[in-house]
Amino acid sequence: MNTEQDNGAIQIENCRFAYKGQNQNTIDIKNLKIYKGEKVFLYGPSGHGKSTLLNLIAGVLTSNEGNIIVLGSDLKKLSQGKRDKIRGEKIGYIFQIFNLIPYLSVLDNIILPSLINKKRSHNNIHQEAMELVNALGLTKLLSQAVSELSIGQQQRVACARALIGQPEIIIADEPTSALDEKNNEEFMSLLMNQWEKKKFTLLFVSHDERLKVYFDRTISLPEINHV
């Protein structure tokens, strides 16, 4: 199988994972494939292994059995350092709790991934950052510390940080769970606009089924995770 040729971004085959000391698997997925440029909504209530699955795809965790192939690389065959390299260079992550640096400005938080990982940087990185700032409605907040922002504004900063350097895959882990309905709709509209422009692979995970209307395909984690 050549995942580069058949346009696969993420492919999972016979993957099983259990945390140490547990007798039961947290993840048991026979097959899951997400294509390059696809936007996928992965639905599942709390406690069904959503965050564990994302950590496996991002290479933070390693499966006990089976294969997880990301952009042509079988993660299980790579060292932790090489998995970290793929995550740093090719994956943008929008966290549920944002993970912003509170004492840094909006702009410094956004460009941080490009400073840490040079593959996410280029000569026009500040221009790209300003384009994201403008697109996400953050222009007037540029020099503020993120600790001074509202929850909705912080989430937009987290989105810009994930997108900087044009990673091939964006993983969003319950990114709207702390937002009210108005900010939820605004954030989803902004994220979809960025997808339309850049066509990255988007894997969006949530327990809120109402969000599936924004996506090409919906996958129910309880249906594919045989635990």
| Assigned domain for 148 exists | yes
Among 205, 211, 212, 209, CA closest to 53: 205
Residue with tokens 């593959």: 119
Handedness of CA 186, 218, 47, 36 (dihedral sign): negative
Is 14 inside any structural domain?
yes
Chain centroid to CA 153: 18
Residue type, 22: Q
For the residues 192-202, what does the mean pLDDT come to? 96
| The pLDDT of residue 4 | 45
Q: Are 137 and 190 in contact (CB under 8 A)?
A: yes
What share of the chain has pLDDT > 70, as a percent? 97
Question: Residue 202's domain is classified under what CATH number?
Answer: 3.40.50.300
Q: What is the mean pLDDT of residues 10-22?
A: 95
* Terminal Cα-to-Cα distance of the chain (whole angstroms): 27
DSSP the chain: --TTTTTEEEEEEEEEE--TT-SS-SEEEEEEEEETT-EEEEE--TTSSHHHHHHHHTTSS--SEEEEEETTEEGGGS-HHHHHHHHHHHEEEE-TT----TTSBHHHHHHHHHHH-GGG--TTHHHHHHHHHHHTT-GGGTTSBGGGS-HHHHHHHHHHHHHTT--SEEEEESTTTTS-HHHHHHHHHHHHHHHHHH--EEEEEES-GGGGGGSSEEEEHHHHB--
What value does the mean pLDDT take over residues 101-120?
87
Directed axis angle between helix 181-198 and helix 125-135, to 10°? 140
Structure tokens at 73: 């690389």
Candidates 55, 164, 158; CA nearest to 118 is: 164
Res. 1: pLDDT tops 70 = no
Count of structural domains, the chain: 1
pLDDT digits (tens, 9 = 90+) for 120-142: 777 788 899 999 999 999 999 99
Q: Is the residue at 3 inside a domain?
A: no
114, pLDDT greater than 90 = no
44 with 208: CB under 8 angstroms? no
Query: Parallel, antiparallel, or unpaired: how do β-strands 27-35 and 65-70 relate?
Result: unpaired
**HEC states along 51-72?**
HHHHHHHCCCCCCCEEEEEECC
Q: Does residue 169 sit within a domain?
A: yes
- Domain span holding position 187: 8-224
Residue 196 pLDDT greater than 60, yes or no = yes
